[in-house]
Structure 1
Amino acid sequence: MIAWFARNPVAANLLMVVILVAGIFTISQRVPVETFPTTELQYINVTVPFRGATPEEVEQTISTRIEEAIYDLDGIKQLTSRSSENVSRVTIEVEDDFEVKELLDEIKSRVGAINTLPVEAERPIVQQIESRRETISVVVSGDLPEKELRQYSEIIQEELSSLPGLTQIETSGARAFEIAIEVNQNLLNEYGLTLQELGNAINSRSLDLSAGQVKSERGEILLRLKAQSYTQDDFEQIPVLTRPDGTILMLSDLAIIKDGFEEESLNTRFDGKPSVELEIFRTGDQSAIDVAQRVKDYVAAKQSELPAGVSLSIWRDRSKSVNARLNTLVTSAIQGGLLVILLLALFLRPSIAMWVSLGIPIAFAGGMALMPEMGVTVNLISLFAFILVLGIVVDDAIVTGENIYSHLNRGDNPLDAAINGTKEVAVPVTFGVITTMVAFVPLSFIGGGWGSFYSSIPLIVIPVLIFSLVESKLILPAHIGHMKKLNAKNDNKLVQYQQKFAKGFEDFVMKFYKPALKFALAHWQLSLAIFLAFFLFVWAAVSSGLTRFIFFPRIQSEIARATVVMPEGTPFELTDSYVERMTEAALELKEKYREEDGDSIVEHIFSVSGYGGGGGAVSSSNGLVMFEITAPEERESEITSAELVNEWRKLIGPLPGVESLTFRAEIGRNRDPIDVQLRGSNIQRLSGAALEVKDILGNIKGVFDVSDSFSKGKQEIQFRLKPQAETLGLTLSDLARQVRSSYFGVEVQRIQRGREDVRVMLRLAKEERSTLDGLNGLLIETPVGAKVPLEQLADLSYGNSPSSITRINRQRTLNITADVEKETADIEAIKRRIHQETSVILENYPGVTYSLEGEAREQEESTSRLTISLYFVLFAIYILLAIPFKSYIQPFIVMSVIPFGACMAIVGHWIMGMSLSVMSIMGMLALTGVVVNDSLVLVDYINQQRRKHGESLLDAVLHAGVRRLRPVMLTSLTTFAGLMPLIFEKSTQAQFLIPMGVSLGFGILFSTMVTLVLVPLLYYKAAQVKHYFKGKLA
């Protein structure tokens, strides 16, 4: 096939055009653009709303029953339930290799079969947790009443929804609509009504009802009763009771109807003004950039139509970061590509360099053409994959082109040189590409929080490498084979300069490299000792802790946030005042860091008082403030996000009485650096142990923002029936139902109004629910119809209800979390100290166990997967080398460069002043398949010299070293050159990708010396040993 394509340039060119056109069409028409790849999360949620219930009630009646129903299903990795006020959430973490849809169906079946859930609880919602695709937010703000602001936001949401491609828009930071019917207990008694009877009256008169049809000569006519109430006025006009004198008692005579919002307190502000946020998500194959642009165009046009005092603002525009990241990586790719072409032009003739470098767009186009089939989008990770493979993709073309170039220099006809030169290296080049692909395969199975993001890298790298192999074997020979024969007389100036460089390089090889290699072979003990000493030195530096390892480095974000948590039951006004104080401190920062153009690096400030409870629930004791920060490359100030947040922390100062105040300004923090999880059945022992663990963490240098998940919760009044109540036939269930109806309320109806589901709640008037006297005097109806004050039927006592209850694998848990100064603290030493001291204190708390979760757990799991992946890659590479060599020993000679490649990657981190991280390790894993390629070609060449040309062992080794030096240097330099712009990139968008690039780039660059010296040396000694033992056996 190589010869056929070489002799048929039309076929080769048509193949090239088809690949290029397919790639260009696909990337421009069929591949959506997003910031990060959308991944299928291995989690399932079971949510059961139970309005008005306490956390303990939710735990006992819902959470534990769901746990018991599903805990024994196959595929469950961890079962977590969180019981909070009004809602139960059970989260199932699915095993990595288990099909989520299969488990989802099983859970739906098991949960649907539970028939003991409370009647008042809503139907369970079972669904897989999906990765959200937030693209941009629009904030409607102004000094307006809450209801008026919501009306404007609904208009905006309706108009946005009518734009092409905007199908998923959600309201955030706003209370739900509610129609409250509040009645006076005395009036109810006066007319002999109960809340239940009043609710029945409302339901019987506020309804839409089909009444059948009339079949007439003109056809069928539907009969329908339309009397559904939708507004305050509608409900006020509902007749409730007809008096003996014939007059009608209307609902407005008995109750105050409020068409407003739920009673929970919530205050959302944007730049200091009341606001409502509309979050816009992209769906399907939509481009984040296109969606955001439509929204921005709408906002720009709509602003002028709004009345004075109402403004529309863009908030958290993710497309900005998408554009910035795309520009960063595309620029890096272009710069790297130019460097690769320049290097090729230096070592090879410009015409050959041009054809070799053409392999880059052809291979990239092939990879792009397959992106939709691979389920890959244009995102930060996929673009990084293209940059990662930029220098590698021409390796096979370099080896092939350089071999053809050697044949041309010997005077061969261009076509013969192309065919013979390609065939000579076809086997080692092909197996070299396969080893590279094999090394990238495990990245698809790393799993974990960040491992899933990197799984798309092999889906780009492998197709690109396949197409590069096709190009180097079928297209490249056809191009070079029909060049004009080399003729020094016709060379232009550029070619002459290149020839001078090539001649100088050859002189260097003969004068310096060949004598050095001969010396190394002659003094093999010294040579091996030097390599071994270097290897031991590097790994001693790592194992001793001199080289820092940070599982995930801290990368500054363009969003800063502070979350304040107050004790449960804290008045909303106090929480709101603290949020105001945090906002004022952010405003001070905004003024302080205003730049010469008048803009500040602190942009919009968004705050929410009463938000941030479990699962995003409304909670009067929580508050959140966040602001946008100008990207580092766009601002004049050198201050980092972390430094800005530390200054913000100081400006806020101490907040008396807070349970925790935490700050975040970093990218990719999925879990806490320190997370000590305590498990046990006794809540008192758990809370006692948690306090002591908090003290341990608080006394460790470098650990800060220590908090725990335990809260005493709100004060509660507990009821116990008196004997008198039981003699009247009253049960505790009857009592709880009537008290709940009076105070929390009864949902008498739920109506659809526009986009909103609006609850109609019937309850006692607010002033009657605000005092203990009102509670004591609450009239309870007994089974015989008598109405008795509550204080005569039940004893009331005070207690505390936890704000939420978390159970993991059916055990109650508490988590103590903290942040760490990663740049200075020794995280491993901190973990060892936590283990030691926690083990000691738990001796005083029988039944309480602990484990390190958060980043520690993720690190342990990722390390395990990476270790297994390394074994797989090494074994696969050995097999792929043994097959073409037909040897059990020679693969080990080729693979000897792998540990030194890892050492060189570590040296690269030293040079860059970087700590090792999980991305560094991933880069080293990929490096194992790339770094063996040059050694493979070198050993194959030695074998050919000995078998085909009958050279002696020494001559074959020296000849191969001299002959393969140029392609080895070229492949190493082009790989490093392709990655160099990314490695030295300073933008935020590239920071967490750089460690992987450093491992691969520096590992390949510095391991060149190992390939050119150690591999020939090991081959030489292995052959001598083999010859020695053969002689002995003979």
Structure 2
Amino acid sequence: ELGEVARVVDGFAETDQFALFDADPTVLISIFRTGDQSALEIAAAVHDYVERTRPGLPEGISLTVWQDQSTILLARLGTMFRNGLTGFVLVFLVLALFLELRLAFWVSLGIPISFLGAIMLMPGADVTVNVISLFAFILVLGIVVDDAIIVGENVYAHQEEHGEGLRGSIEGGREIATPVIFAVLTTVAAFMPLMFVPGLMGKVFRVIPLVVIPCLLFSLVESLWILPAHLSHIPKRRRNGPLRRLQQRFANGLKLFIRRVYRPVLELGLQWRYTTAAVGVSTLIVTGGMVLGGWTNFHFFPTMEADFIAASITMRQGTPVSETAAAVRKLELGAERVRRELVEETGEDYFRHTFTAVGDQPMAAREGGPLAGMINATAPHLGEVAVELLPSQARALSSEQVVNRWREATGAIPEAVDVSFNASIMAPGDDIDVMLVGSDMDRLRAAAADVKAELAGYTGVYSIADSFRAGKREMKLGIKPAAETLGLTLGDLGRQVRQAFYGEEAQRIQRGRDDIRVMVRYPLEDRRSLGDLENMRIRTPDGGEVPFGQVAEVDPGRGFASIKRVDRNRAVNVTASVDETVTTSGAVLADLQNRVLPEVLARHQGVRYVFEGVQAEQIDAVGGLQSGFLIALLAIFALLAVPLKSYLQPLIIMGAIPFGLVGAIWGHMIMGLNVSFMSMFGLVALSGVVVNDSLVMVTFINRKRALHTDLNTAIREAGVARFRPILLTSLTTFFGLLPLMLERSVDAAFLQPMAVSLAFGVVFATFITLMLVPTAYLIVEDIRRLARKLAFGHGEPDSGAPSPLDPDGAAS
């Protein structure tokens, strides 16, 4: 029988892996959703199963839910819902203070109608309810009422003029329909390029235009067809209640401000129009100088707050699992030290659970950047410690601050090849990632060592490493001439050594759903050391046995852990992280590119470099965004030229775009934020929003000009007439985003730059629309008259000649 000649063990496959959960041995079971399943429903089912199963478990065995992503999702959804509701209330209050209460109600009704329309289309666009899509709704909250404000205010003005509701709705809606339609289309054109941004960031944030654009289109339908119908039935008030009297105070106060402040200032600006224009241009120049002077920094992608932090460690390949466990223990001790310090400082235990893995890196494999989930990191030289923190709303320190303290408390682990700490939900790559490429591996390693040494000299740069990994120690076998006389070949030698130490699969047995492999090999105690190899006996073809040392030669060495090639050349990546509170990755990369790397490459001929990681993602995404921005500007120009029937007036209107960017930059400085990729998203979207008020202003100037022979009078009357709707559209956009900008929770921190760009840009552009657009209109008219005078020797050559600044149909 087999048991008489061999020891039979029915057990699990041998592995150098084990895990601890809160210092107890554990087995981790991962549960994922598939297809259209809801993450919240899956999480609820898991929690229900755990609660039902716990009472029946044996003593000493427990079930704990770990790394439940649904709690993070719920917290962020709650933050978005809360800010969205607060923004809606603020928008309604702004409208109610400056418009008649019922008018404010019907204008605000456009928000839920637009949102419901967009929600109806979300499944078809493959958009789910998540943090980004909810942020898109908040972003568009104050924008969707812009067209309704313009239509409603114009309808209300007509109704006040003659007191007829239906007639006022028809006249007011028809008069403003063309500029409103094209104003919405210009905003759609500005958001459209955000759908086609390349790279990882583009895939994540393409949800924003997929939500915003349907909202805008539905708001257009509501403002032109539904809102006038509602406003036509508003009766004239016969008595004034307290709310009406309060509203009248604000309305009368605004009228007084327009008459006593805005109109005289506008007249002064028109009189000194070139000085006014010079002040505007100076503002652009000063702001540009402040940006170049470093008053605000560019950080491509800010850290996204996480409730889990992790430290992964990589030892030299071939390291015994016991040494890896000892190194992992240093990470655990560092975490325990930070835990005690936080308890002493805050009185709260920031750490909910701690998970330790030896022989594996589950968090790194799952969240290691763009290739996450493609790595099966299982080997005895790998280890990881992960910590679940209190929810971000319940702690004063961010996950990045906690992980920085953990890094300091752990200190250096010299025996490790690489130690990395992670505190972000998503990152486009390493802050610093320089890929060195060349044909000579020795030169590459020397160049990588020089770059690492230079990086170590920067303050705020840490976790410096390279991608070269020496392989496991190996024994290269050769066969002696004496062995060949015995009939042995190198293949026979290799096969027998493999069978003895790794095993030979004799057969497979099906046991239920499991496929059981039957492996034949030496007992564990006979295959643990090199001495066991030396004591091995090799079987000859005639059935005899000879000592291993008589027939085999052994050449010790190391193999390669991995080989990376780029364009048939070897490649090594040098990576590092940057503490943004000390310096920026942009500053470090600029110095590397201008000073360090040219010197390194001069010392190591045949080596070249390219930037990877965040820098590569930044070049890809920003380049795509810039191209999209140019296309958006062309589309906006074309859309403006159609209703205005002019090629000069669209340029006057688009002159507000640079000043919107000025407002966005100042907003970042006021809020203490760095300019990020999300800020650039906001700047592109801003280009379509800021032209809306300018379009309405220029349209009304054209209409007033058709009624007045004096251009100055036409401009003054148009400015006074459009002051209230222009102010309201800007205030609703700003106050709709204000709760998100003031949100102290770290859940919304990475979205705030886009909100700041849009909100402050629109507010600043409002003053430009009310002052510089009329001024620019008059300056262009001066230039046109001067050109005609030079061409014809006098003023107007022909009163019937068409003017690009006075398009046909302006009076219609």
Q: Distance in 2 between matches of 1:930 and 1:773?
A: 77
SS state at 2:627 partner:
helix
Change beyond 3 A, Cα 1:685–1:793: farther
- Of 509, 512, 532, the residue aligned with 2:281 is 532
Structure 2 counterparts to residues 95-110 of structure 1, below 5 A: none
Superposition deviation, residue 546 in structure 1: 2.5
Q: Distance in 2 between matches of 1:958 and 1:595?
A: 66
Change beyond 3 A, Cα 1:771–1:324: closer
More strand by percentage: 1
- Of 696, 700, 706, the residue aligned with 2:458 is 700
Name 1:83's counterpart in structure 2. Answer: none
**Gaps in structure 1 of 5+ consecutive residues:** 1-249
Residues 508-538 of structure 1 deviation map (CA, whole Å, 9 limit, x = unaligned): 1011111111111111121111111110011
Name 1:688's counterpart in structure 2. Answer: 446
Q: Distance in 2 between matches of 1:844 and 1:1025?
A: 60
Structure 2 counterparts to residues 996-1011 of structure 1, below 5 A: 996-1011=754-769
Structure 2 counterparts to residues 250-289 of structure 1, below 5 A: 250-289=1-40
- Of 364, 367, 378, the residue aligned with 1:618 is 378
Change beyond 3 A, Cα 1:599–1:532: closer
Change beyond 3 A, Cα 1:546–1:774: same
SS state at 2:583 partner:
coil
Name 2:219's counterpart in structure 1. Answer: 468
Name 1:867's counterpart in structure 2. Answer: 626
1:450 aligns with 2:201: yes
Moved more, 559-568 or 886-895: 559-568
Q: Distance in 1 between matches of 2:359 and 2:674?
A: 40
Structure 2 counterparts to residues 302-317 of structure 1, below 5 A: 302-317=53-68
Please tell me whether the aligned partners of residues 274 and 779 of structure 2 are also in contact (alpha carbons under 8 angstroms): no
Q: Distance in 2 between matches of 1:815 and 1:757?
A: 40
Tell me the amino acid that sits aligned with residue 767 of structure 1.
Answer: E
Q: Distance in 1 between matches of 2:113 and 2:265?
A: 39
- Of 563, 569, 585, the residue aligned with 1:805 is 563
Name 1:295's counterpart in structure 2. Answer: 46
Superposition deviation, residue 632 in structure 1: 3.2
Name 2:687's counterpart in structure 1. Answer: 928
Name 1:876's counterpart in structure 2. Answer: 635
1:327 aligns with 2:327: no
Q: Distance in 2 between matches of 1:410 and 1:977?
A: 30
1:711 aligns with 2:493: no
Tell me the amino acid that sits aligned with residue 997 of structure 1.
Answer: A
Superposition deviation, residue 622 in structure 1: 1.8
Tell me the amino acid that sits aligned with residue 908 of structure 1.
Answer: G
1:840 aligns with 2:589: no
Name 1:747's counterpart in structure 2. Answer: 505
Superposition deviation, residue 675 in structure 1: 0.9
Q: Distance in 2 between matches of 1:304 and 1:368?
A: 42
Q: Distance in 2 between matches of 1:825 and 1:884?
A: 49
1:369 aligns with 2:129: no
1:895 aligns with 2:654: yes
SS state at 1:280 partner:
coil
Please tell me whether the aligned partners of residues 473 and 559 of structure 2 are also in contact (alpha carbons under 8 angstroms): yes
Q: Distance in 1 between matches of 2:397 and 2:246?
A: 47
Moved more, 826-835 or 750-759: 750-759
Superposition deviation, residue 648 in structure 1: 2.3
Q: Distance in 1 between matches of 2:145 and 2:14?
A: 66
SS state at 1:389 partner:
helix
Name 1:587's counterpart in structure 2. Answer: 336
Superposition deviation, residue 873 in structure 1: 0.6
- Of 628, 634, 638, the residue aligned with 2:388 is 628
Please tell me whether the aligned partners of residues 557 and 988 of structure 1 are also in contact (alpha carbons under 8 angstroms): no
Q: Distance in 2 between matches of 1:808 and 1:375?
A: 36
Q: Distance in 2 between matches of 1:307 and 1:581?
A: 33
More helix by percentage: 2
% same residue: 43
Change beyond 3 A, Cα 1:729–1:1023: farther
Structure 2 counterparts to residues 768-847 of structure 1, below 5 A: 768-781=526-539, 787-835=545-593, 836-847=595-606
Superposition deviation, residue 259 in structure 1: 2.2
Change beyond 3 A, Cα 1:430–1:886: same
Name 1:405's counterpart in structure 2. Answer: 156
Q: Distance in 2 between matches of 1:825 and 1:491?
A: 60
Residues 238-272 of structure 1 deviation map (CA, whole Å, 9 limit, x = unaligned): xxxxxxxxxxxx22222222222332211100000
Q: Distance in 2 between matches of 1:759 and 1:873?
A: 62
Please tell me whether the aligned partners of residues 392 and 747 of structure 2 are also in contact (alpha carbons under 8 angstroms): no
1:343 aligns with 2:101: no
Please tell me whether the aligned partners of residues 593 and 602 of structure 1 are also in contact (alpha carbons under 8 angstroms): no
Tell me the amino acid that sits aligned with residue 386 of structure 2.
Answer: M
Superposition deviation, residue 950 in structure 1: 4.0
Please tell me whether the aligned partners of residues 595 and 601 of structure 1 are also in contact (alpha carbons under 8 angstroms): no
1:564 aligns with 2:313: yes
1:386 aligns with 2:144: no
Name 2:372's counterpart in structure 1. Answer: none
SS state at 1:384 partner:
helix
Q: Distance in 2 between matches of 1:733 and 1:693?
A: 44
Superposition deviation, residue 678 in structure 1: 1.7
Structure 2 counterparts to residues 82-97 of structure 1, below 5 A: none
Tell me the amino acid that sits aligned with residue 1023 of structure 1.
Answer: E
Change beyond 3 A, Cα 1:681–1:260: farther
Name 1:910's counterpart in structure 2. Answer: 669
Name 2:413's counterpart in structure 1. Answer: 655
Residues 300-323 of structure 1 deviation map (CA, whole Å, 9 limit, x = unaligned): 221111011000001111111111
1:732 aligns with 2:487: no
Superposition TM-score, scaled by structure 1 size: 0.73
Name 1:578's counterpart in structure 2. Answer: 327
Tell me the amino acid that sits aligned with residue 617 of structure 1.
Answer: A
Please tell me whether the aligned partners of residues 945 and 951 of structure 1 are also in contact (alpha carbons under 8 angstroms): no
Superposition deviation, residue 963 in structure 1: 0.5
Q: Distance in 2 between matches of 1:817 and 1:733?
A: 42
Q: Distance in 2 between matches of 1:324 and 1:584?
A: 30
Structure 2 counterparts to residues 481-500 of structure 1, below 5 A: 481-484=232-235, 486-487=236-237, 489-500=238-249
* Number of residues of Structure 1 aligned to a counterpart in Structure 2: 780
Q: Distance in 2 between matches of 1:610 and 1:293?
A: 31
Tell me the amino acid that sits aligned with residue 694 of structure 2.
Answer: S
Name 1:544's counterpart in structure 2. Answer: 293
Residues 441-480 of structure 1 deviation map (CA, whole Å, 9 limit, x = unaligned): 1111112222211101111111111110110111101100
**Gaps in structure 2 of 5+ consecutive residues:** 366-374, 798-812
Q: Distance in 2 between matches of 1:839 and 1:744?
A: 49
Name 1:765's counterpart in structure 2. Answer: 523
Name 1:503's counterpart in structure 2. Answer: 252
- Of 940, 952, 968, the residue aligned with 2:726 is 968
Structure 2 counterparts to residues 844-859 of structure 1, below 5 A: 844-859=603-618
Q: Distance in 1 between matches of 2:151 and 2:344?
A: 55
Q: Distance in 1 between matches of 2:509 and 2:153?
A: 76
Superposition deviation, residue 756 in structure 1: 4.2
Change beyond 3 A, Cα 1:1000–1:270: same
Q: Distance in 2 between matches of 1:712 and 1:631?
A: 40
Tell me the amino acid that sits aligned with residue 658 of structure 2.
Answer: P
Residues 713-750 of structure 1 deviation map (CA, whole Å, 9 limit, x = unaligned): 32211122333344555443443333222222223344
Residues 214-242 of structure 1 deviation map (CA, whole Å, 9 limit, x = unaligned): xxxxxxxxxxxxxxxxxxxxxxxxxxxxx
Name 1:52's counterpart in structure 2. Answer: none
SS state at 2:563 partner:
strand
Name 1:523's counterpart in structure 2. Answer: 272
1:426 aligns with 2:185: no
CA RMSD between the two structures: 2.1
Name 1:952's counterpart in structure 2. Answer: 710
Q: Distance in 1 between matches of 2:506 and 2:142?
A: 68
Tell me the amino acid that sits aligned with residue 392 of structure 2.
Answer: P
Superposition TM-score, scaled by structure 2 size: 0.92
Q: Distance in 1 between matches of 2:121 and 2:645?
A: 35
Superposition deviation, residue 589 in structure 1: 3.4
SS state at 2:11 partner:
strand
